[in-house]
Chains A and B, each alone.
Chain A
Amino acid sequence: MKLFAATVVGSAGERVSAATPLFDTLDDHVQDAPRVVPGAGSFANALEVAIEGRLYWRDGAIRYTLDGSDPTPSSPAYRGAFFLDHTATIKSAILDANGRLGAIASAKIEVRDVTPPSVDRVAPAYRSTTVRVRFSEPVDDSALAAKNYALDPPIDVKSVARVDARDVTLDLASAPVLERAYHLRIAGVKDASPAHNAMAATSFDLVVKGPVFQLEHVTSEQMGTEIRDVANLPLKATDAWTLNFFVKTDKEIEDRTLIAGFGKCEQAEAGGARYLAKFSSGIHFWSHNRDVRTHTPLDVGRWQMLTTTYDGHLARVYKDGKSIGEREIQLADDQSVVHIAPLDPWDQKRRFTGDIRGLTIWSEALNEDAIRSLQAASSEH
């Protein structure tokens, strides 16, 4: 303890103290117990168990045990939902700001796993030889045997790699043909429970989807045009999407010039319009009052690939497959229209001049691998 000053104050006068607290003392803000979800029950399959703070919690402060003992500050920290494939009594408490454990929550969950795993998701990648498979629960190493997977029409499964307890990646001998219907047959994969329940042979559809809109070459006549009523454009406010194109210009483009995009190209409702543009700070994603600014310039005299992805919350802007800016934004529902080099919506006088090709719009937020594959595919052409 350090002392900085001491003063004796004479006795003249009264010294009162407030007879009730004059502001909130927070004495009632004691650490409450977390909530185990589910709180109890009997289950015939492994299940995901979550532990949630109720009133107050701190990131990384939940401690828990699975053997029915009371948790201590050194018990495992809860990091996220986990699979339980055997009977357990889960006890959990939260460390408060002073490092003390609060009230304990307890949940007895009876599990006798007699249910084989199923498949939640089969996800091929655009122009790629990899297919990711997510199982419904943790699986044992039987999931790594290539013989347990077969494609129809046939493509050899060369190898299988584990991503995590539930996910594996198949490496195929060749990339599936775009938009072609395949069936992936999976058999014999066992869950990681004590019973190692094996999956019966099951087939899953596998289709590598392409963009919902594609314009490979934009002619000079098409510059400044709008294409209306495009089917399947991702126009709902929270739809995920990707906008991608290659662009080249031989002269410095004026600031606040839109290059291409989709949605009503007007300053109307906030979150309307989805356009890549050139602003004073550089390449720019413009949606009315929902912009993503970057400080990366639009180059003059060379082809470059510009991409924006949106996952319903986060918009990311890429140049040549490299992320150059991102922001959480909320978009609005929009109209089905694609504009190539539209007039700027502010002054109605600036229009992009240059070349655009390979304009695609996707109904998903492509990941960086997929975006890079677009760049690579372009190089091959």
Chain B
Amino acid sequence: MHVQYPRAFALLVLFASATMVRAQDTTSAPDITKQPTLYVVGYAHLDTQWRWIYPQTIREYLANTLHDNFKLFESHPQYVFNFTGSRRYQMFKEYFPADYEKLKSYVNAGRWFPCGSSVDENDTNTPSAESLIRNVMYGNRFFRRELGVASSEYMLPDCFGFTASVPSILAHCGIKGFSTQKLTWGSVVGIPFKVGVWEGPDGHSVIAALDPGSYGGDIDENLANSETWRTRIEANGKQSGVFADFHYYGTGDVGGSPNEKSVTMLEESLSTKGPVHVIAGRADALFEAITPAMKERLPHYKGELELTEHSAGSLTSQAAMKRWNRKNELLADAAERASVLAWWLGGRDYPSQRLENAWTLVLGSQMHDIVSGTALARGYEYSWNDELLAANQFQSVLEDAVSVVAGRLDTRAGGTPLVLFNPLSIEREDVVEAEIPGDAARLAGVRVTGPDGKPVLAQVLGPSKAGVRIAFLAKAPPVGFAVYDVRVAGTEPNSASSLRVEEKQLENERWIVSLNDDGDVASIRDKKANRELLSGPARLGLHYENPRQWPAWNQDLADRQQPAKEFVGGPARFRVVERGPARIAVEVSRDVGGSTFVQRIRLSAGGAGDRVEFDNDIAWATRERSLRAAFPLTTTNPHATYDCQSGTIERGNASEKQFEYGFQQWFDLTDSSGDYGVTVMSDSKFGSDKPDDATVRLTLLHTPGTRGGYPDQGTQDLGRHRILYALEGHAGDWRQGRSAQEAARLNQLILAFRATPHDGPLGKSFALFTTSDDDVRLSAIKKAEDGDFVIVRLRELSGRDKKSVRIATAKPIVSAREVDGQEREIGAADLRDGALVTDIRGYELRAFAIKLGEPSARAPRPASTPLALSFDADVISSNANRSDGAMDADGRTFPAEQWPATIADGATTFRLGATTDGGKNAVTCRGQEIALPRAADAGDRLDVLVAAVTDGRDADATIAIDGRPVPIRVRDWRARVGQWDHRLWPAEDVAHITTRTTATRTTSTVTSTRSRSTFQRARRRSDCRTTSA
């Protein structure tokens, strides 16, 4: 029976129950080596997007989650609720501020626990190791900051497979326990144990509860007397000495709360002295109760936990999400590294909040139904937008940071100075593409010289928006910068090059690549090893995909066992599109199955020439098919090696239970003899298969048939795709082939920035970090979230223990300590001669907080002078008074709750208007004059924050500065930043929630002729809104 308590009484119950719950959790905790104990976790599963989209999640499901649980708290004093995902708590805070305050009081009373240690319940197959670490760090930092408490467990009840690296990454973050119920949906290796130890590639581990029952399950018996649970716990205890188990109950997938009958039954269980001691509370209670000694005796599993069905298709579905996720991970990484240097030089504050905001958009989109490609098609309108918002932020941070560094470099040049940035922690030589000013039609050649003044191999690729697109072969130091000088030439300079190209053959110092008449690469000959890589043509196959159920998730074995329905073949159109001397390329165009395939096969000179690259531009219009790039190789081995987030995993040929394999950046088939191997690497693909000993295939696209329902998924990924993949042959195994480093180079390019010429104290080349061992990657370099330290994360790549690895910086390190993935100190660090020296296990992740020595001279900071504006319009309203103000004719407004007083964007600080009711906060542009504060210097900039009300279209406007017109293009305030797809679904009416808007930040140089009004579709938006709903 439901009892309504008077409000005052409810408050008393709340605090009384807090004591009871805590007492149950701690002081009365049983000895689980003797007393059978069941840890029960009340939970509501919420797919933040799935068959619904953010507005509905916010309006209905988050509201229900708050209110349903508040109701239960009032009437059931022993009820404790667990809920994951800091991003959902951000939404609580933003959309339900009063309820959020109430939630905080329940957290404080121990009734509501922010479990899961994540920004959202994420996918684990697609994100990088760094993403998983940030998920924990940003998630738990939010919980500690906002709610004063965070969990020591990681909770992914519903997720489409778990990579082998997950336990290593969680252990690195200081997480003790992990739970999921998804293995009951079909696990490749079964369910290894109920409660045991899951070990990662580096030997670090977490305690895992792998069979807790359905999260949507009810409690319909007295658990203290449950024969089922007693038997299960006894079996656990006999096996391990730990008489404990773990049990979800609750609801899903739309949030809410467990039902009242379950809660009532749980309370009865808690008050019963039966054979099973029942503990109901925080999701991490079991993992905290298991001591290290107990953990030693638990059953043990090392390896991945992928699903038999859901892990196959979801490795490839929604290609744009997966691509943009990868690109954002890399862009974030580059932005952070450059920002550390800009901050160390003193030119900027480190943009921690901006980076966290952008990361949160990316991590939120890694939610297990979004990046995995299984959400409602319309949900991707929000998620694509979030990825592009994040990309804008990362680009802005990166350009600003590089500006500071470039300002300290010697960029004096005879032509256009280009500042190159190599984010990787290895020295490298690769082809760099750049757009420079010039007239492509009148340009015959380009001359590029390096930091040493010597010319490098360079070529013109063709016209571009900025003028001319060029490519050149450049060297760059690890985590470092180099200045190159680009001069256009009337004639092609003579460059000695080893590259040779014809329509059907390409050759460099390492390879001879031959194409057949169908347009397939038929032969790749390794000149150095005198060996052929291919046993047959490398073809693109179109394979039937129409899974019996769950189309975006699954691929069926029966479909996979069929040969390709058709291959991309002739008639092929051949064209030599790049002739060297830095790079050669043949373009092959073919039409099959309604789709168009344009493939550019490329070879480079010098250090970039070890890869045979395939740059694909595909207009994909073929349904019920996956597209697979097949590589029949001369190396044979029943086992191949796959890159996972931290470490590698070996797998056999396709089997009944697993016939689609995930990977991060590369996989490798080294011959059984061990004398030669071939690595396949990709910039944005995550699925592959291996039908036999000598064939590996890279899965490029997946548009399934929908006999299993979900008809919207039958058109997923129709559209244009840019996909880069490459082959690399090597003597010995993948370690000798440096496959991890090669794949990193394919993914994280050397970035080029146009600069202006000037002198600089750092010279023409500068590296901040160096390592003594290329197998130890600096996998993250960022400023610590707290304090003036730099976090340097190390990842061992070879799987072999390394001793005394030395990490040196441009100035001696002053102090250092070891930290975990959440940046909490865990130990001391060894400093020798100003360098960090450490051992590291094979595949291990270790992180250090280091304090850098002062730079020789600090970079100046430009002055930022906000202008006083005569506001004449009120365009902002609070949630409490939505009728205040109007941005457009329909009375829509910007939300006051998200309108800051200032916005800091690099060197620029914007000062915004008042948000109070009736307060004016915008200037309606009608040709008014705005006085500048003083006589502007050459090079001074005017940055403006503007938005247009143009019904979805861009607006062209002009700012006249001292009479000189500067054209700008401004986005409509309600338009999305960009969409991969143009499809339109029925409109949603979500009132205040959909008034998500962005203003355009644009910059004009005050007195020079340079303007930066380059705001194209899907480019650059301000950061005045960064949330996704």
A interface residues (Cβ-Cβ under 8 A, vs B): 1-29, 31-32, 35, 53-61, 96-99, 237-238, 254-256, 270-271, 279-281, 289, 313, 328-330, 332, 346-347
Contacts and interface: CB of A to CB of B under 8 A. Distances in A.
Question: A6, A26, A31, A255 — which one has the most chain B CB atoms within 10 A of its CB?
Answer: A6
A58 B984 contact: yes
Nearest to A58: B984
B398 interface: yes
Given A2-B946, A28-B720, 12 more contacts: A5-B913, A7-B864, A7-B908, A10-B863, A14-B407, A19-B436, A20-B435, A22-B331, A22-B391, A29-B980, A56-B719, A328-B51
Contacts of A256: 218, 220
B261 interface: yes
B326 to A, nearest CB: 11
26 contacts: A1-B948, A1-B949, A1-B957, A2-B924, A5-B867, A5-B910, A7-B909, A8-B867, A9-B862, A9-B865, A10-B937, A11-B940, A12-B861, A13-B347, A13-B862, A14-B411, A19-B433, A20-B435, A55-B619, A55-B719, A56-B981, A98-B952, A99-B953, A254-B220, A328-B51, A330-B550
Contacts of B549: 237, 271, 330, 332
Contact of B941 (A9, A16, A21, A27): A9
B6 interface: no
Contacts of B869: 3, 5-6
A60 B751 contact: no
A347 B913 CA distance: 63
B5 interface: no
B936 A14 contact: no
Interface stretch (B72-80, B560-568, B774-782, B1012-1020): B1012-1020
Question: A53, A58, A97 — which one has the most chain B CB atoms within 10 A of its CB?
Answer: A97
B621 interface: yes
A35 B595 CA distance: 12
A11 B939 contact: yes
Contacts of A60: 984
Interface in B49-98: 51
Nearest to A333: B548
Given A13-B403, A19-B435, A2 B873 contact: yes
Given A9-B940, A12-B862, A14-B758, A56 B983 contact: yes
Given A5-B911, A10-B940, A59 B861 contact: no
Contacts of A9: 862-865, 907-908, 940-943
Question: A7, A12, A60 — which one has the most chain B CB atoms within 10 A of its CB?
Answer: A7
Given A3-B922, A7-B867, A270 B940 contact: no
Nearest to B328: A23
Contacts of A254: 220
A20 B754 CA distance: 9
B945 A13 contact: no
Given A1-B957, A14-B407, A16-B754, A7 B434 contact: no
A281 B259 contact: yes
A190 B434 CA distance: 69
A13 B944 contact: no
Nearest 3 CB-CB pairs, A to B? A11-B939, A330-B549, A58-B984
A17 B395 CA distance: 10
Contacts of A18: 395, 398-399, 751-754
Interface in B916-936: 921-925, 930, 932-933, 936
A3 B946 contact: yes
B99 to A, nearest CB: 23
A253 to B, nearest CB: 12
Given A2-B887, A255-B261, A29 B982 contact: yes
Nearest to A17: B754
B802 to A, nearest CB: 33
Interface string B577-608: 00000000000000000100000000000000
A97 B391 contact: no
Given A5-B903, A6-B867, A57-B982, A29 B948 contact: no
Contacts of A21: 1019
Nearest to B911: A5
Contacts of A99: 953
A254 B619 CA distance: 56
Contacts of A328: 51, 709-710
Interface string B329-352: 001000000000000000100000
Nearest to A331: B549
Given A2-B946, A24-B323, A330-B550, A15 B984 contact: no
B866 interface: yes
Contact of B923 (A2, A29, A57, A279): A2
B367 interface: no
Interface string B619-643: 1110000000000000000000000
B753 A347 contact: no
A148 to B, nearest CB: 38
A11 B937 contact: yes
Contacts of B866: 5-7
Nearest to A237: B548
A56 to B, nearest CB: 4
B982 A238 contact: no
Contacts of B391: 22-23
Contacts of B903: 5
A53 B955 CA distance: 29
Question: B419, B912, B941 — which one has the most chain A CB atoms within 10 A of its CB?
Answer: B941
Nearest to B985: A59
B983 A1 contact: no
Given A4-B999, A18-B752, A57-B983, A255 B218 contact: yes
B406 A16 contact: yes
A4 to B, nearest CB: 5
B228 interface: yes
B682 to A, nearest CB: 16
A25 B1018 CA distance: 6
A14 B861 CA distance: 10
B232 interface: no
B922 A8 contact: no
Contact of B944 (A5, A14, A289, A330): A5
A8 B753 CA distance: 23
Contact of B983 (A23, A58, A281): A58
A325 to B, nearest CB: 14
B965 interface: no
Interface string B701-726: 00000011111000000111010000
A363 B756 CA distance: 76
Nearest to B550: A330
A24 B395 CA distance: 12
A238 B706 CA distance: 12
A64 B850 CA distance: 66
B221 interface: yes
A23 B331 contact: yes
B937 A23 contact: no
Contact of B943 (A7, A25, A32, A97): A7
B875 interface: yes
Nearest to A4: B945
B938 interface: yes
Contacts of A61: 984
Contact of A98 (B435, B707, B913, B953): B953
Given A3-B945, A8-B932, A14-B755, A58 B403 contact: no
Given A4-B946, A19-B435, A56-B982, A24 B722 contact: yes
A16 B753 contact: yes
Contact of B952 (A58, A97, A313, A332): A97
Contacts of A347: 220-221, 228
Contacts of B619: 32, 55
A10 B984 contact: no
B983 A59 contact: yes
Contacts of B395: 18, 22-23
Contact of A8 (B402, B550, B942): B942
